[in-house]
Structure 1
Amino acid sequence: MPVDPELHAAYQACKRINARHGRTYFLATRLLPPARRPAVHALYGFARLADEIVDDPGPDPVAALDALAADLRAALAAGTHATPVLAALADTVRGYAIDPALFQAFLRSMRMDLTVTDYPDLAALAEYTHGSAEVIGLMMLPVLGTVGPVADAEPAAAALGEAFQLTNFLRDVGEDLDRGRVYLPADHLAAFGVDRQRLLATRAVGGDRPVRRAVAHLVAHTRAVYRAALPGIALLDPVARPCVDTAARLYARILDEIAAAGYDVLTRRAVVPRRRRLAVAAPGLARVVAARVAAGTGPVRTPAPAPAA
């Protein structure tokens, strides 16, 4: 953790944001070496700033995003900022040599949320998920570390970010509908006789078989994205692998919960119970111990239970 008191406070602010809003992600982050956790919290904190603008927009969300982009540029140029999250982010970007262009791609997707409410197919959705999720995986790579060239690990890192995002889309169909958005590709829905109006109707009454079949199809697609991404974990620094492996397993469990609920994502929100999340994290802790002993680093503390995500 940084020694400078103001910078330390900035990172602590990011940690609190991560713990409050990204509970599954936060639990997995506890499996990283302590020195690398603040950078992950800073990246999460910045993403959360943008999320709040687009998910709970004020009177002028376009201006708010533009202001955030301007503040980001100023923070990266100066290496610090009066806003704690941006101060921590600027320090992280400089310390890990993260490509600033990744943040511009992220903000482009956030701007899409202000005008785009439907996606006709996976190709159109991919434009959004590249900036909203894949670049997050790419930002993380310098923090996690790799055993070979970073470029070798980039495709899998991007794919895992996409898998996480697709999982969120499936879990949050109902909430996104309430915000006027449908992230499920229209052509995949149409193959099962489903469109926005049918989703809205099912949101009200539940029990629609075509909607459940469409969701089951998209769950299977998302599992395939996980399968493509998981081999990339072996390309990471051994001390970082348990964190990423645990995050992947925790997020994949959300798909299991969706399936267990009969693919009903409109009248309920899939939640992985705390006991199951801790059961998934426990093997990761054992792998952390082994990896840190091999690397000659310090002791490992058992992660405290996090609230249900």
Structure 2
Amino acid sequence: MHSGASAADPHLELGYERCRELTKKHGTTYYWGARLLAPEQRRDVYAVYALCRLADDIVDEPETVDVPVPADPDPGVRLRGFEQLFTDALVQGGSADPVMAAVADSLRRRGTDPECFDRFFRAMELDLTRETWASWEELRDGYMEGSAAVIGEMMLPVLEPHDPAAKGPARSLGLAFQLTNFLRDVGEDLDRGRVYLPQDDLARHGADPHERRVTPQWRTMMAEQIERNRGLYAHASQGVAMLPPRSARCVATALRMYALILDRIEAADYDVFTERRRVPRPVKVALLADVLARGPLRRLPGPVDAR
């Protein structure tokens, strides 16, 4: 479903601006990629990102969230309050909170499947009770299905694909982004009592993230995870040709920027404990210029089995 931006409404405009600010501050890859889209698409990317970011922060960093949810020490109460705020905004077609009003406006205009939202919030609830995952299949299908693959589905209406087959690659891109986060943020997740690495893979390599040091076992385990991650990016790249030019440039830019994080992890000898591995701004600028000059399909990964 294609739709232009809503008619000017100061309340909505404030909400969209706050979504933009949130994306610029925390989701730099989304922000840079969205700069290649038309303005009405760009604000919708910001809205989807804001929904996902706020739900995540309400669980882990409630002091950073500026939306009217219960100031309760129980993260489950906060998350349920946020879900209710979001649901009410969708049903009522608006909200007194400008960010929720913008998010609801965007998702309604784009015709996003409401089933996506239930999958998303059920995955967020799992962070309240699960600390580890037994296998890649359990992590992917039990958690990332609702926390990552569904994000790809929620972004897809904004990108306006001309081929319905784009759904599979969009889901893989969501999975790829989140797996990159898991590999980059091992130390931060340990601080929160969570390990988003398959326990069977860790055991097979004899790797223990709780040691917080790079060992031969850690290197081989991480190398295996990065290979899996690149497979997901490769499958995701097949969807670029299914998008109109602006969307293709956006996705190709975001994909390549995020995949570079894996290169940075390798260059640091798989040390994800002492420093957060980032892609420097000059590299992002150069990559953006390359996509604009040479086209979105240059230097994307080749097709492999993403599963």
TM-score (norm 2): 0.88
The alpha-carbon deviation at position 217 of structure 1 amounts to 1.0
Listed one character per residue, the Cα deviations across residues 273-292 of structure 1 (whole Å, up to 9, x for unaligned) are 11111111112233689xxx
Share of identical aligned residues, percent? 46
> Which 4+ runs in 1 deviate beyond 4 A?
none
> Helix, strand or coil for the counterpart of 2:246?
coil
> Helix, strand or coil for the counterpart of 1:31?
coil
State which of 230, 233, 245 in structure 2 corresponds to 1:226: 233
Does residue 85 (structure 1) correspond to residue 91 (structure 2)? The answer is: no
State which of 159, 169, 190 in structure 1 corresponds to 2:203: 190
> Helix, strand or coil for the counterpart of 2:239?
helix
The amino acid that maps onto 1:96 is: R
Name 1:141's counterpart in structure 2.
Answer: 156
Listed one character per residue, the Cα deviations across residues 68-116 of structure 1 (whole Å, up to 9, x for unaligned) are 1111111111111112221011111111101111111111111001110
Matches within 5 A, 1:1-309: 2=6, 3-56=8-61, 59-126=73-140, 127-148=142-163, 150=164, 152-194=165-207, 198-201=208-211, 203=212, 206-286=213-293
The alpha-carbon deviation at position 238 of structure 1 amounts to 2.0
The alpha-carbon deviation at position 260 of structure 1 amounts to 0.7
> Helix, strand or coil for the counterpart of 2:270?
coil
Listed one character per residue, the Cα deviations across residues 18-49 of structure 1 (whole Å, up to 9, x for unaligned) are 11111122111111112211111111111111
Contact 1:33 1:239 survives alignment (8 Å): yes
CA RMSD of aligned residues (A): 1.5
Contact 1:156 1:229 survives alignment (8 Å): yes
TM-score (norm 1): 0.88
> Helix, strand or coil for the counterpart of 1:239?
helix
Name 2:304's counterpart in structure 1.
Answer: none
The amino acid that maps onto 2:279 is: V
**In 1: Cα distance, 2:44 partner to 2:214 partner:** 43
> Helix, strand or coil for the counterpart of 1:221?
helix
The alpha-carbon deviation at position 207 of structure 1 amounts to 3.4
**In 2: Cα distance, 1:63 partner to 1:257 partner:** 38
The alpha-carbon deviation at position 66 of structure 1 amounts to 0.9
Gapped runs of 5+ residues in structure 1? 290-309
The alpha-carbon deviation at position 53 of structure 1 amounts to 1.6
